[in-house]
Structure 1
Amino acid sequence: MSRHARLALAALLALLLLADQIFPPPLQARQAPQAQVVVARDGTPLRAFPDRQHIWRHPVRLEDVSPRYIEALIGFEDRAFWWHPGVNPWALLRAGVLWLQNGRIVSGGSTLTMQVARLLEPTPRTPAGKLRQIVRALQIELRCSKREILEIHLSLAPMGGVLEGVEAASRAYLGKSAQRLSESEAALLAALPQAPSLLRPDRHPERARAARDKVLQRMAGRWSASAIADARQEPVIAQPVREPLLAPLFAERLRRLQPHAARIESTLDAAMQQMVEQILASRLGILPPRVSMAALLIDNATLEVRAYAGSADFSDSERFAHVDMVQAARSPGSALKPFLYGLALDEGLIHSESLLADVPQSFAGYQPGNFQASFSGPVSVSEALQRSLNVPAVEVLERLGAPRFVSLLRRGGLRLELPPGASANLSVILGGAAVNLEGLVGAYSALARAGVSGRPRYLAGSPLVESRMLSEGAAFIIRDVLESGGPVARMVDGGIGSRRGIAWKTGTSFGFRDAWAVGVSDRHTAGVWVGRPDGTPNPGFFGANIAAPLLLDLFAGIDDSPPAARTPPPGVSSARICWPLGTRSEGLPATLCHQQRTAWILDDTAPPTFPDRLRSGPARLTDHRDPATGQRVRPGCAGGAMRAVEMARWPAALEPWLDPALRARVLPPSWTAACSSGEGGSGDGLRIVGLSNGETIRRAGDGPPATLRLEARGGEEELIWLLNGRQVGRVPARQAFTLRFAEPGSFQITVLDRAGQHDRVEISVR
């Protein structure tokens, strides 16, 4: 080659390079707005959000697409794709000859790279347009690898209507990921870009079938004859194009967290999510209008969320469909009680059978009642938790301290929202604070995770956030009580309750506004909420009758494996304890051990029963008996020898609730005649005088409050007067006590003395 020719060639190349730099291919178009899709852990789309032009476009990588589709696409469109420089001269020559012969374009001769050029920069189907495609294809090949070029085509190829890319088409028409295409499906989708509108399988199945068969014919020699024959036999059936809508509120939440991500990979299990939504839908018929539901299910091992339903029905605006009640802060009712008793165990205040008083009581003016509007008298911690009794819970919280309880919950990862300007008080254990379902489920997971709670994880790569809620021993005891009733129930029913393997607790907020149920199994923790998002009460809707059945149905649907056998962790043991003292029974005589129970104890410690709130003095007292009659005597009135007897005292508030046989056995006997007269009693016990049971006291119109002068006979030393379980006064025996009633109502008046005697009347003030 001459020197001039070489210079001319160099100048031409330089000119081409300069033109290439001045007029680069529009590769930035591949960064066009993309549809967002939130997918389950197996890739199933949960919800998709189109781009601003309402185009469904899901960019994919080569490994996200079935190899069958890649083979069909290249085999049908561009067999020389892997070796040509962007243009196939033989294909162009053939297309030109056919054009001259027929007077029209019969075959475009386009390579996949040229098609990508047209996708990035649309051009008219003219010779000038074709020339522009050729130039752009060459430029693209200089800048991109074959893999990158193919991925652009996989993401942008028109697939009919508002669908672009093989993933969007596969999901919309076939209801599956492009990773799982059969030979027939791969051939069908490979043919679509030839004429997307005319070959849509949902509208023109016969045309689509003919186009598919044409692709299959071209694959002869690349696919086996049997595979092609089987593919031809498959019918072309496409589902109507519609937006995926599974866990819609969850998907919207993740979209807000990652607004710029094209594909958001969540932790949800698509099958579990469908099951949860179906169970919620099955309940809609029994719910009043405007009542919604929410459910959350997490995996205990990973804290990953497997199912998330923020509302009952996303299509029903009357049920506040778009309000996500998984995140809404609501009153939990009694749902915090397991943590109260667990933390009290860790603080050494109680064991599982500690004696508590389910009787009317006043705690510095706060007078809680039970949901059933009745009382049970002496109960254990296990019974109080299983039956969700309110007064015993407040009694334990008073000993633990409400501010400390709230602080310990926060340390364990559960934050309570208190009313504006309010501080923690005894009402928090009965729903006087707010939590959300997400936080409650994360906290309950501690019962199945050795006391460690965690924040539910929604994204596959999100960090693991854990907190120590309870000790491993306390978590074991609380779960055992909720699951089977504890050691006493195990002895009574053989542990039947534990065979289902679910420990759960309900809650009902004041006014029936919120019904809760949260539970754990070996593998999962789940929680449900039922109510009106606007806070309107639903009379008759409470946790046990509306939320608990829903929760148990969820567990039945997802966790049917038998529970694993559990053994107490280090620090937990069983021991025989005594009521009323609450301590171990070993070495205690019958006078100090009125009832024996089997308890779970923590760290080999059996704490005693709480100090008497009404009566001061030690839990043990010593009196003297006449050896002949067994009656009580004292120095100065005893006619002969005396026998000292040490007795255990029941809390004064519980003595009126003991059954007659137990009272006769455990309370001090009557005084001898010689000693009783010295106390002003008749030997017939303590009695309220001047006021009969069921009496009605009438006020004088709008005059001053009704005033009663209360007197009792037969008491010893000091009398304690109670009004509706609240102490209102202490006076010496034989002294009257005046009580005023500012408001009408029904009242229970009780009098106690230090010897355990009591009397009670119920009156009405009108």
Structure 2
Amino acid sequence: MGVWGKFISPILAVLVLAFVVDRVFPPDLTRLTPGQEILDREGRTLSVLPALGGTWRFATTTRDVPPDLVALLIAAEDGRFRRHPGVDPFALARAAWQWVRTGRVVSGGSTLTMQAARLLEPRPRNLRSKLIEIVRAVQLEARFSKDEILGIWLTLAPQGGNLEGVRAGSLAWFGRPPARLDPAEAALLIALARRPGALRPDRHPEASRAARDAVLAHRTAASTALTSADRTQGQAVALPTHRRAMPRYAPHSAREVARLGGARIPTTLDLPLQRAVETMAAQALETLPERTAIAVAVADHAAREFRVLVGGTFGDEQRAGSLDLTLATRSPGSALKPFLYAMAFEAGLTRPETVLADLPFRFATYAPENFDRGFAGQITAADALRQSLNLPAVALLDRLGPLRFAAALKAAGAAPRLAPGAAPSLPLALGGAGTTLREMMALYATLAGEGVAEPLQLRPGGARVPVRVLEASAARQVAGILTQGFPGGGPAGIAWKTGTSWGGRDAWAFGFDRAHVVGIWIGRPDGTPIPGATGRSLAMPVLARVMGLLPPAPLTGLRVRPASNEAGADRLRLLFPPPEAQLSDAAGPVTLRAMGGQRPLTFLVDGQPIAHERARREASWQPPGLGFFRITVLDAQGQSARAEVRVRAE
């Protein structure tokens, strides 16, 4: 063996020993197991769930924080971080000299990598622990990149109490994710990690401010950190005075998707809209009888994605707050009727203008009655649906067949739940089966989507399998019939329907325009009746308020379009008034005129049908006052034409 062999052999032996020790005693990374963040469709934090043991800890990387925070952290804690192999001999020598000279520990000499090792495996602060940290730091440097090591620190750095990591600290102290921190806020979180108990801003504001300002005073050798102006401005920023509650929007949906696993779980929900609807629902709840709960769903029916899900009052056990009431099985009452009428139109059993009989009739042993115990006599199918009359609906189901109706409901994603061993029967027309709010939303999305059924998604990226369950013309006809003014006011041009289950146990309201479907359920989770409750009295006002919160649809109003895009003599046209017409309030009644299309025609003003002879192509309208109005004409095939007009003073 030569001279070089005498040197190389011991070195190889040491390297082999180090490799074996590293494999036998690898770093323990179990503390990196994070809690879960539930994200909205734009990546904003909707809700968070803690890690095991109740610790708020969320996976954080250098990409999740501002560059200034990383620069400040390195400058304040480990200026040579990018250049050393996990241990900084100069820092250790300085710490040892200070210890010998003063007789006490002045600085620990720990690098950020050594701090990361200590955060992964907390130990008593003594010399033995320091030696272990040195070994672990070398192991971490061999296994991870510098940015990954910073990620360990960013994920585990203590932030006071049960907060770990700058993401948890940012949410708790500033109410926003770390990417939106300003330099002074970033400096406070870095300072907190040093002595979280002694530097909490809500308990020790002066010490916290001094520590923050000391971090702000650091600068890196590069000019990417803070300028003196940044530091001066940051020192003037007020400290947080209290710890904020962690985000908890859509808590029922958050728990649902959290079961799928993952640190950051995306959803299709929309945070600003979810927050607004939750606030509105809480306000509406104050006006309702005791033990009453509200569930709300909003979906984008083109994307077939939920935008809002309010499953109830989370945490309020008097209202079964732990249950997601969007998934509770309840009786839909009359809310199934639009789908029934669409199937009847498609099958040729009736048309919107067909006159039906609303008179006492017995179907074997079944004798349905209307809600008010009265009967309307002879009435068109369109008006029977608008007024939600029971006997015409049961008569249509009798002709259509309950089995066929139930099969179509199942195909649309709302299979009716019947008693064990029971078969679909005529009471199904009036809600004689169980369903959920989400399933009813799928039905109304099918109507809004012109007869095409697809599952409504809560997670993005799911496979879309559209199934046509209704002819487009039938769905458009029902949409046109249901497009009418809201009782007591509210947004115009919305197709809507209410439902009330037997005994006032469930109050429903559904509405849709060209962009969204909204569903409301109000009732008691234990199924006890609410005296006098109806969908119109309880759920309809909430529906109107939710529709008012939605962003404008591309084209509000009827979910209808011409049956063909080809121009021709039969295309429905509104001859008078023309678009953007200026009408005088002194001119008296206005004659609305249409051409083309298939009669009978329906004329509407701001979504409200006006009386006229349906076989004629004109109608008389008296403007109720000054302002802007939307004139719409709808034909029997669902074609529409419209014009915006203005009535001005003479």
Give the TM interval when normalised to the shorter protein: 0.7 to 0.9
**TM alignment of 1:597-608, pairs within 5 A:** 600-602=635-637
Give the superposition deviation at 1:252.
Answer: 1.7
**TM alignment of 1:329-728, pairs within 5 A:** 329-484=329-484, 500-560=492-552, 563-564=555-556, 568-570=561-563, 574-576=597-599, 596=615, 600-602=635-637
Matched, 1:295 2:288: no
Question: What amino acid sits opposite 1:237 in the alignment?
Answer: P
**TM alignment of 1:11-26, pairs within 5 A:** 11-24=10-23, 26=26
Of residues 164-173 and 295-304 in structure 1, the stretch that sits farther from structure 2 once superposed is 295-304
Q: Is the 8 A contact 2:508 2:520 kept in 1?
A: yes
CA distance in structure 2 between the partners assigned to 1:164 and 1:59 by the alignment = 10
Question: Cα deviation per residue 1:71-103 (whole Å; 9 max; x = unaligned)?
Answer: 111121112212211112222222222222211
Give the superposition deviation at 1:437.
Answer: 0.2
> RMSD in angstroms over aligned alpha carbons?
2.7
Secondary structure, in 3 states, of the residue corresponding to 1:212? helix
Secondary structure, in 3 states, of the residue corresponding to 1:286? coil
CA distance in structure 2 between the partners assigned to 1:543 and 1:514 by the alignment = 8
Question: Cα deviation per residue 1:312-335 (whole Å; 9 max; x = unaligned)?
Answer: x22321122122210011110000
Q: Is the 8 A contact 1:58 1:165 kept in 2?
A: yes
Q: Is the 8 A contact 1:295 1:526 kept in 2?
A: yes
CA distance in structure 1 between the partners assigned to 2:598 and 2:389 by the alignment = 24
CA distance in structure 2 between the partners assigned to 1:530 and 1:465 by the alignment = 31
Give the superposition deviation at 1:132.
Answer: 2.3
Question: What amino acid sits opposite 2:245 in the alignment?
Answer: R
Match of 1:248 among 227, 232, 251: 251
**Corresponding residue number in structure 1 for 2:646:** none
Give the superposition deviation at 1:5.
Answer: 5.9
**Corresponding residue number in structure 2 for 1:286:** 287
Q: TM-score, normalised by structure 1?
A: 0.71
CA distance in structure 2 between the partners assigned to 1:386 and 1:228 by the alignment = 66
What's the % identity of the aligned pairs? 41
Query: CA 1:510 to 1:498, structure 2 compared with 1: closer, same or farther past 3 Å?
Result: closer
CA distance in structure 2 between the partners assigned to 1:244 and 1:461 by the alignment = 24
Secondary structure, in 3 states, of the residue corresponding to 1:601? coil
Q: Is the 8 A contact 1:333 1:507 kept in 2?
A: yes
Question: Cα deviation per residue 1:360-399 (whole Å; 9 max; x = unaligned)?
Answer: 1222332111112111111111101111111111121122
Matched, 1:130 2:130: yes
Question: Cα deviation per residue 1:266-309 (whole Å; 9 max; x = unaligned)?
Answer: 22222211211111111223222221111111122322222111
Query: CA 1:463 to 1:75, structure 2 compared with 1: closer, same or farther past 3 Å?
Result: farther
Question: What amino acid sits opposite 1:549 in the alignment?
Answer: P
Give the superposition deviation at 1:465.
Answer: 4.6
**Corresponding residue number in structure 1 for 2:309:** 308
Q: Is the 8 A contact 1:500 1:562 kept in 2?
A: no
CA distance in structure 1 between the partners assigned to 2:638 and 2:506 by the alignment = 37
Query: CA 1:31 to 1:597, structure 2 compared with 1: closer, same or farther past 3 Å?
Result: farther
Secondary structure, in 3 states, of the residue corresponding to 1:194? coil
Query: CA 1:214 to 1:31, structure 2 compared with 1: closer, same or farther past 3 Å?
Result: closer
Question: What amino acid sits opposite 1:414 in the alignment?
Answer: A
Secondary structure, in 3 states, of the residue corresponding to 1:484? coil
**Corresponding residue number in structure 2 for 1:7:** 6
Of residues 200-209 and 546-555 in structure 1, the stretch that sits farther from structure 2 once superposed is 200-209
Q: Is the 8 A contact 2:600 2:636 kept in 1?
A: no
CA distance in structure 2 between the partners assigned to 1:306 and 1:204 by the alignment = 42
Question: Cα deviation per residue 1:35-92 (whole Å; 9 max; x = unaligned)?
Answer: 2232333444433332332211111233122222111111211122122111122222
Give the superposition deviation at 1:507.
Answer: 0.3
Give the superposition deviation at 1:20.
Answer: 3.5
**Corresponding residue number in structure 2 for 1:756:** none
Question: What amino acid sits opposite 1:335 in the alignment?
Answer: A
Query: CA 1:509 to 1:499, structure 2 compared with 1: closer, same or farther past 3 Å?
Result: closer
CA distance in structure 2 between the partners assigned to 1:449 and 1:478 by the alignment = 12
Matched, 1:61 2:53: no
Q: Is the 8 A contact 1:508 1:543 kept in 2?
A: yes
CA distance in structure 1 between the partners assigned to 2:247 and 2:437 by the alignment = 25
CA distance in structure 2 between the partners assigned to 1:321 and 1:124 by the alignment = 43
Question: Cα deviation per residue 1:130-151 (whole Å; 9 max; x = unaligned)?
Answer: 2322222122211211122111
Structure 1: which 5+ runs fail to align? 490-495, 579-593, 605-766
**TM alignment of 1:76-95, pairs within 5 A:** 76-95=76-95
Question: What amino acid sits opposite 1:575 in the alignment?
Answer: Q
Larger radius of gyration: 1
**Corresponding residue number in structure 2 for 1:115:** 115
Secondary structure, in 3 states, of the residue corresponding to 1:294? strand
Question: What amino acid sits opposite 2:169 in the alignment?
Answer: A
Q: Is the 8 A contact 1:123 1:133 kept in 2?
A: no
Of residues 454-463 and 211-220 in structure 1, the stretch that sits farther from structure 2 once superposed is 454-463
State the structure with bigger RCO (CA 8 A, min sep 6), 1 or 2.
Answer: 2
CA distance in structure 1 between the partners assigned to 2:161 and 2:474 by the alignment = 60
Q: Is the 8 A contact 1:501 1:563 kept in 2?
A: no
Query: CA 1:453 to 1:325, structure 2 compared with 1: closer, same or farther past 3 Å?
Result: same
Query: CA 1:394 to 1:10, structure 2 compared with 1: closer, same or farther past 3 Å?
Result: same
CA distance in structure 2 between the partners assigned to 1:130 and 1:576 by the alignment = 89
CA distance in structure 2 between the partners assigned to 1:215 and 1:254 by the alignment = 39
**Corresponding residue number in structure 2 for 1:263:** 264
Query: CA 1:178 to 1:238, structure 2 compared with 1: closer, same or farther past 3 Å?
Result: farther
Secondary structure, in 3 states, of the residue corresponding to 1:46? strand
Question: Cα deviation per residue 1:529-557 (whole Å; 9 max; x = unaligned)?
Answer: 01111111112001011001111111112
Give the superposition deviation at 1:603.
Answer: 9.8
CA distance in structure 2 between the partners assigned to 1:503 and 1:453 by the alignment = 18
**Corresponding residue number in structure 1 for 2:604:** none
Secondary structure, in 3 states, of the residue corresponding to 1:374? coil
Q: Is the 8 A contact 1:345 1:602 kept in 2?
A: no
Question: What amino acid sits opposite 2:173 in the alignment?
Answer: Y
May I ask how many residue pairs the two structures share in their alignment? 576
Of residues 406-415 and 512-521 in structure 1, the stretch that sits farther from structure 2 once superposed is 406-415
Question: Cα deviation per residue 1:453-478 (whole Å; 9 max; x = unaligned)?
Answer: 33221123333353323222222211
Query: CA 1:541 to 1:384, structure 2 compared with 1: closer, same or farther past 3 Å?
Result: same
CA distance in structure 2 between the partners assigned to 1:596 and 1:395 by the alignment = 26
CA distance in structure 2 between the partners assigned to 1:575 and 1:16 by the alignment = 89
Question: Cα deviation per residue 1:700-746 (whole Å; 9 max; x = unaligned)?
Answer: xxxxxxxxxxxxxxxxxxxxxxxxxxxxxxxxxxxxxxxxxxxxxxx
Q: Is the 8 A contact 1:297 1:524 kept in 2?
A: yes
Q: Is the 8 A contact 2:514 2:554 kept in 1?
A: no
Question: What amino acid sits opposite 2:255 in the alignment?
Answer: E
CA distance in structure 2 between the partners assigned to 1:139 and 1:293 by the alignment = 55
CA distance in structure 1 between the partners assigned to 2:316 and 2:133 by the alignment = 50
Matched, 1:139 2:165: no
CA distance in structure 1 between the partners assigned to 2:412 and 2:268 by the alignment = 24
Query: CA 1:4 to 1:128, structure 2 compared with 1: closer, same or farther past 3 Å?
Result: farther
CA distance in structure 2 between the partners assigned to 1:497 and 1:245 by the alignment = 33
Q: Is the 8 A contact 2:334 2:431 kept in 1?
A: yes
Q: Is the 8 A contact 1:44 1:176 kept in 2?
A: no
Structure 2: which 5+ runs fail to align? 565-570, 573-596, 602-612, 618-633, 640-650
Give the superposition deviation at 1:497.
Answer: 9.8
Question: Cα deviation per residue 1:602-631 (whole Å; 9 max; x = unaligned)?
Answer: 499xxxxxxxxxxxxxxxxxxxxxxxxxxx
